[in-house]
Amino acid sequence: MAVFIIMITFGVMLIFGVAFFVVFKNIRNTTEQVTGNFTQTLKEGLANQAQPRRASDKDVIDVAMANQGKVTATILCARLDISIDDATQKLDSLHNKGIFTLENTTSGHLVYELVDMDLMK
């Protein structure tokens, strides 16, 4: 009888041991998957942040049209979520192409004004 009880006890312990091993392995696999997905998402997010947004000519002209044909680098920076340096370079480029004229206000601000005011109609 004692041998039978020992065998049953050993069998129960073996079943619980196998069950624990299976559950632990599933938890470990799930943890690795979640960690892998999180790491991949984090890498993709950082890669997207590393590439600054580029403003197209149309984006800049649209902002100017929304401001009665006038725009500054600060306005572009705020509206298009680009750096002030990128906004200045873009406006200078479009000025050199004849899209904008440049006006220096009495307060010293540079204001770019659309040459083709027919766009405002």
User: What's 25-41 look like in SS3?
Assistant: HHHHHHHHHHHHHHHHH
Q: Would you say residue 51 has pLDDT above 60?
A: no
CB within 8 A of 110, min separation 6: which ones? 72, 73, 91, 102, 103, 104
What pLDDT, in 10s, does the model give residues 5-27?
A: 777 787 777 787 767 766 677 77
Q: Would you say residue 110 has pLDDT above 70?
A: yes
DSSP H/E element including 103: strand 100-104
Which pair of tokens denotes residue 84? 């002030």
Q: Looking at residue 47, what is its pLDDT?
A: 62
Which pair of tokens denotes residue 29? 């696999």
Q: Looking at residue 45, what is its pLDDT?
A: 67
For the chain, the domains span 1-51, 57-120
- Read off the pTM: 0.56
Fold of 57-120: Arc Repressor Mutant, subunit A (1.10.10)
